[in-house]
Structures are given as structure tokens and as C-alpha cells.
Structure 1
Amino acid sequence: MFYGYARVSTAGQDLGGQVERLKAAGCDPIFLEKVSGAKSDRPELRRALKALTPGDALVVVAVDRLARDTRDLLNILHEVKEAKAGFRSLNEPIVDTTSELADVVLAVLGIAAKWERARMIERTAAGRAQAVARGVKLGRKPKLTPLQQREIKARLAQGEGQRELARSYNVGVATIARLITSEKSEEE
């Protein structure tokens, strides 16, 4: 049995063209979704994957209607394979795990996912470097203001305990301990 899956990103777009092509390819039922491919929660895709049984095939008009990136595609194809089913894309005939070339297709997609991941890491690192160059401070905001930090240091010097201070500033004891550790490292 061929199961069709069609998706558009926004409510204003029409699924008609995809549905016609999937019907012409012999798909029944066809799972329709109007949600961004960037979202991991796609209920109709979940339903389509759960419906697959051994020997079935999940068919899409184009790979970009199914997955947001190569890694997402590989994850979905893994689920299809676990169901002992196949996958076909009408626009990209090479992406067909029902043919003898299934292992080659998956190997090529795996290599593409690896490259895509490396490019994503490079872009993220470059973006972080640019942000730092512009003076953007990265990471979590401090739980304590500089004034609170000075107050805590003064109270510690007067002999107050870490637990008591943590309670009064509504932070964990570890936050107070890090403040003490950072003060010691600054003195050295």
C-alpha cells in the first residue's frame, strides 16, 4: 500500500497539486498537514509513520515537503525502515528506498547529513565570533547583580553562612560557592 504525505508551510498555501500527484501515483490514504517543516511536532506525519506496515511505502511529492534538513530526513527514513516499509519521492526519483539502490541512497544521504552538520557548526561558530566582536555577552545572565555580589562578600566576611545567604538571595548554595571561588581566583 502506498501512503501519501503532503505538507504546506502556511495556512494560505494549497495542498491540491500535491494531492493530485500523490493520487496519480496510487497513494491512498494521503495524510495532509499545514505546518512548518521546521517544527518537529507534525501529527499527520506521526500518523502516517504509525500506519506503515511491512511492504508499504511512504510517498511524497518532494523531499522538502517531508523533512526540514538531511538529519531530519534520515531520522524519518530510519522510522520507515524500522516499519519494514519503503520511501519514495516523486520529484527526486533517486530518493527511493524501494529500489535495489536503497543502501546507496541512504549512504549518500548520510554523507550529506555529515556535511550539513559540519557547515552548521561552522556557521554557528562564525555567528558567535561576530557577536562577541560586537560586544554581545554570551551565556546565561548572572543570578546576582554586582551590588548583591558585593553585599554577599561583605556578609561572608562578617561570618554569615553560605546556606543562610543563599536563602536570603533566593539562589542555590552553589551560586554562593562559585562567588567565593571566583573571588579567590581573582586574588591569586
Structure 2
Amino acid sequence: MVNIAGRPRQESLDRAILDAAVRLLVEHGYGGVRIDAVATAAGTTRAAVYRRHGSVAALVTAAYAREFGVDPGVDTGSLAADLRAIQEHRLALFNHPLITRGLPGLIDDLSRQSELADAFWSDFLGPRRAAATEAVRRAVARGEIEPGVDKEWISDLLTGPLLMRAVLPGLEPIDDALVRRTVAAALREVGLRD
């Protein structure tokens, strides 16, 4: 791998930087992830961290993308079961310490940095939403639901409540009841019952 300046990348250093960011995020929350602290914990320099990640928001987004990948693309043959599987995966995701300790601060930073918001969308949130839209597409192809369903809206019904509860303090927990309610809402929207 070659970076923009043409220097060969050290993959072990890339991993060390993301590992350090993950540790700091879990231990100290988003506010504790500072470039100098990451550099020290990774055994490198601030410049090396900045060459790879231009800001804390970019660094945390990269850590999220690495740690969580995408939602599993489960095909059970039933939209209801597919959506339940997706939401059960998200139950663990949105209760993970990396998310609970970091997402509120990251969202705040992203609200002021549109180019980083685009990266968060493409690297973390967009691929996650793809699992739900693909489940709806398969249900249409099977004839389980009518064509013309707004796949993005179904994804919003599933992801929105979890995301809101993950970033706003004082709301009800992200739990099995919320999983059931979000799946039921999405199924009602497409004319099915859970």
C-alpha cells in the first residue's frame, strides 16, 4: 500500500494506530482520543498519525469501519427473519463500548465537517444500511412483498431508533424490546405482520 506522498505504508503501524485509538476510546471516551495520545500509545509520531488520519473524527471512523465491518447479509428466505437477524446484530453493535463511548462525540464532530460526514456514511453507516435494503430487495424478488417499497425508509425505521438511543442520553436502552418494535414497524410498513 502506498500513501499520497508515495511512501510505503507500514501496515503494522496502521494497525497499531487504530488499536491505540480503540483502547483510548473505550477507556476515555471520544474526548480522550487525541492525536498526540494515539501517537504515544502506538509508539509513533503525531505526523505519522496525521498522514493516515487527518483528524480524530477520521481516525475514529476508520476504527469503526475496521472493528465492525458491515452488517451480516443473512438470507433466511423470510423478510421478517432477515430483519430480526440484522437487528440482533445491531443490538450488540449499538451497545458495544466503542459505540456508546464514541458515537455521540463523533456525531458532534461530523456535524461540523461535511467531508468527514461523507466518509462516515460511506465507510460505516452506508454499508450497514445496505444489509436492510438488500433484505427488502430479496423479499420483493421472492414475491413476499410488493415492488415499489421505499428500501431507504425501511432502513431508517430499523437504524434510526437505535442510532438515536445510542447518541442521546436518558432514553430507554437499546434492548430486545426495541429490536422487536423496530422489526414490527418495518414489517407493517411493507404490509406484513411479525
Which one scores higher on RCO, CA 8 angstroms, separation ≥ 6? 2
Asked whether the two chains share a fold, i.e. TM above 0.5, the reply is no
TM-score, normalised via structure 1 length: 0.24
Which structure would you say has the larger Rg?
1
Whose strand proportion is higher, 1 or 2?
Answer: 1
TM-score, normalised via structure 2 length: 0.23
